Structure 1
Amino acid sequence: MLFGFIALLVFMIYDVSSRSDDIATIFIGLFAAILLFYRHRLFAIGLTEGQDILVEIEKNTE
């Protein structure tokens, strides 16, 4: 996840330096980075909640 974020930042900087008039690239890159970060966070939250549910099921079946 962190590697993908760093690669995206490097690509953004390279792309902006090659075409300095295109500011939209910065916003698109930042928006994509924010989406990737929040998707990762939501996935991690979903995994922990799923784990808690499995633990509760195990407790109830014993």
Structure 2
Amino acid sequence: MLTRFFSLTPSEIQNKAQRHRARAIAQLSKKSSLKVRHERYNAEMIRARFFEAMLAGGVQ
């Protein structure tokens, strides 16, 4: 599964990071409890940071 991530082009990685950031922001406006919104936001931001780290060369 990880080999699939490492075969992405830099522009694809950037697009994935941007999509996860947008999803994280969208989670904040959902109609649910503050705790659930915060957990979902954090989960999406972890994914976005993972892809940004890939782009920066921090993930090996």
TM-score, structure 1 as length reference = 0.49
Residues paired across the two proteins, number: 44
Q: Give the alignment partner of residue 29 of structure 1, picking from 31, 44, 49.
A: 44
State the SS of the aligned residue for 2:29: helix
Give the superposed CA RMSD. Answer: 2.4
- Higher normalized helix content (fraction of residues): 1
Q: Distance in 2 between matches of 1:30 and 1:15?
A: 11
Task: Give unpaired runs (5+ residues) of structure 1.
Answer: 47-62
Which ranges in structure 2 are unaligned for 5 or more consecutive residues? Answer: 1-12
Runs of 4+ in structure 1 off by over 6 angstroms are none
- Amino acid in the other structure paired with 1:11: R
CA distances 1:6-48 after superposition (whole Å, capped 9, x unpaired)? 22122112222113522111211221111111122228xx8xx
- The higher-RCO structure (CA 8 Å, 6+ apart) is 2
Distance (Å, rounded) in 2 between the aligned partners of 1:20 and 1:10: 19
Determine what percentage of the aligned residue pairs are the same residue: 9
